[in-house]
Amino acid sequence: MAKFSLMFYRQDCMGCHACEVACKQEHELGVGPRLVRVFERAPDFFPVYCHHCANAPCQESCPVDAISKNEHGLVLIDKELCIGCQECMEACPFGAMQFDDDQETAVKCDLCVDRLKNDKAPACYSVCPTGCISWGATKVLADRVAQEALPQKMK
């Protein structure tokens, strides 16, 4: 079964933050946890997001095995099991793990797994006006990187 992941092609991110708000709405999150976040250093923008790593440091760091992987390789957290120790936040090399003060648990990108079940693309992807967000099989994402790296005329 194909492994899925999420990727921002940073050169095309223009810092509109639509992905952030779409994500908040989808996951019913208030102020605090930001499962996807774009930092601005005009004219460049730096998206921070979960890469759904093959060997996920967050998963490895969790003392109660609250973090697991599904059949598509999506790294998911079970909020019922999470004890709020924040070890995963220390472990994530991308700064993608977040903490929800209201629920006192860690919270993370699930690639909108509920939307995927209904054949709908992740919320962040669905609103991005430049198409800088890709999701899907890791092989497809790798191909896109190769494609984007080509000079315009060779595409």
Residues that bind other proteins (CB under 8 A): 14-18, 20-22, 24-25, 30-32, 34, 42-45, 126-131, 152
Which CB, 120 or 139, lies closer to other proteins? 120
- Please answer whether residues 77 and 66 qualify as being in contact, where contact means their C-beta atoms are separated by less than 8 angstroms: yes
CB of 75 to other proteins, least distance (A): 24
CB of 118 to other proteins, least distance (A): 12
98: three-class secondary structure by DSSP: strand
CA distances from 104 to 25, 81, 86, 126 (A): 19, 12, 10, 29
Q: What DSSP line would sit under 1-46, residue for residue?
A: -PPEEEEE-GGG-----HHHHHHHHHTT--SS--SSEEEEETTEEE
Which CB, 67 or 132, lies closer to other proteins? 132
Residue type, 100: D
Which CB, 75 or 109, lies closer to other proteins? 109
CB of 21 to other proteins, least distance (A): 4
CB of 114 to other proteins, least distance (A): 13
Give the 3-state secondary structure of 100-128: ECCCCEEECCCCCHHHHHCCCCCHHHHHC
CB of 59 to other proteins, least distance (A): 28
